[in-house]
């Protein structure tokens, strides 16, 4: 009987997996648990993006064969060592398409109508400043979608409901979808950035995509533009973004993902602060400082990787994870990532 380790599951999720995988030996750990306590007989490890599967974790599990991600992204895994060890990676592609697309507009409306500022003023003792709270309509604005995959397409469809103009950039665009849904395809990212009132990111992360939105691209955007990121934190240079917002280079930003986002968890931050600071941790500390700065800006919103979090999307993730595990054991279908 293969042993399967799950990290970071809620109690209802544990019950689901125990019922769905009765013939397997399941063990559960919290994300704060020391990996050195993980059972060395684990053959399959299942994690979400909030747990980093480091070289230390992989080396601690000598019988590890498969990492089943309860997510689409997998950049929280040491892929180099996984490939060297022959550990396969499975993910849950396309889950939460509607959940994430809708969350983009939850963030956008919060910024466009200055909801965060309005609530703060309503709760405060100072006189209400209607001029300061004044927002703008989405109708007639151009939304630029970087990445016209499953989520990007969902964003495009919702945007039309607001009467927005839709532009998209994708190196391999679905031209049929674009034509059917009145999406203008940009020839390059820079063109999209220059023309868009709102820019929303829906691309996967790779080392080549690190700081996809950097200082230069922020300067390319309209001064009235809003940037939204629900994809991967590493796509945006957080420090450059803080500078751009403070200098008025862009009007606002809403981020559901940030660089080194695990530091948003107070327990993780305390653990981090107690460890010796090396070069990598020094960079993470800089990111944490930038995140704190963003949280204090009126024109920025930071949420803790919550875009996917609906009842329907969680069910999708759980079912796809079960299918990946069953498929791997039986030699059947697995949503495997090529690394």
Provide the annotated active-site residues. 232, 261, 305
List, edge to edge, every strand of the sheet that includes 198-201.
183-185, 165-169, 142-146, 198-201, 226-229, 252-255, 300-302
Q: Would you say 219 and 247 are in contact if contact means Cβ atoms under 8 Å apart?
A: no
Query: Is 62 strand, coil or helix?
Result: coil
Residue 139 and residue 161: Cα distance in Å, rounded?
A: 9
> In whole angstroms, what is the distance from residue 54 CA to residue 51 CA?
9
Rounded Cα distance between 288 and 220, Å, is 26
With contact defined as beta carbons under 8 Å apart, do 211 and 220 qualify? no
Sequence-ordered list of residues with C-beta below 8 angstroms from that of 42, at least 6 positions apart, any chain: 3, 4, 5, 27, 61, 63, 64
Pairing status of strand 88-90 against strand 336-337 = antiparallel
């Amino acid at each position: 009987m293969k042993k399967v380790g799950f990290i970071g599951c809620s109690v209802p999720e544990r019950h689901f997996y125990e019922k769905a995988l009765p013939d397997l030996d399941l063990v559960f750990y919290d994300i704060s648990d020391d990996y050195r306590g993980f059972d060395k007989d684990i053959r399959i490890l299942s994690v979400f993006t909030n747990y980093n599967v480091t070289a230390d974790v992989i080396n601690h599990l000598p019988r590890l064969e498969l990492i089943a991600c309860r997510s689409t992204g997998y950049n929280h895994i040491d892929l180099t060592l996984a490939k060297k060890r022959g550990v396969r990676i499975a993910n849950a592609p396309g889950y939460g398409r509607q959940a994430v697309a809708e969350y983009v507009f939850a963030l956008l409306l919060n910024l466009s109508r200055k909801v965060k500022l309005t609530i703060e003023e309503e709760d405060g003792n100072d006189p209400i400043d209607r001029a300061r709270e004044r927002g703008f309509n989405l109708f007639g604005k151009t939304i630029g979608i970087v990445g016209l995959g499953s989520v990007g397409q969902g964003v495009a469809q919702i945007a039309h409901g607001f009467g927005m103009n839709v532009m998209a950039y994708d190196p391999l665009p679905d031209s049929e979808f674009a034509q059917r849904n009145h999406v203008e395809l940009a020839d390059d990212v820079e063109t999209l950035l220059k023309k868009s009132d709102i820019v929303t990111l829906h691309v996967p992360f790779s080392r080549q995509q690190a700081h996809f939105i950097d200082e230069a691209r922020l300067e390319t955007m309209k001064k009235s533009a809003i940037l939204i990121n629900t994809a991967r934190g590493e796509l945006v240079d957080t420090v450059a973004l803080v500078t751009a917002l403070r200098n008025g280079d862009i009007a606002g930003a809403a981020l559901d993902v940030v660089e080194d986002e695990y530091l948003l968890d107070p327990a993780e931050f305390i653990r981090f602060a107690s460890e010796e600071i090396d070069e990598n941790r020094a960079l993470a500390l800089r990111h944490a400082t930038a995140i704190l700065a963003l949280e204090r800006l009126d024109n920025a919103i930071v949420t803790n990787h919550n875009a996917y979090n609906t009842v329907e999307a969680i069910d999708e993730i759980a079912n796809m994870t079960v299918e990946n595990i069953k498929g791997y054991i039986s030699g059947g279908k697995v949503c495997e990532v090529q690394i």
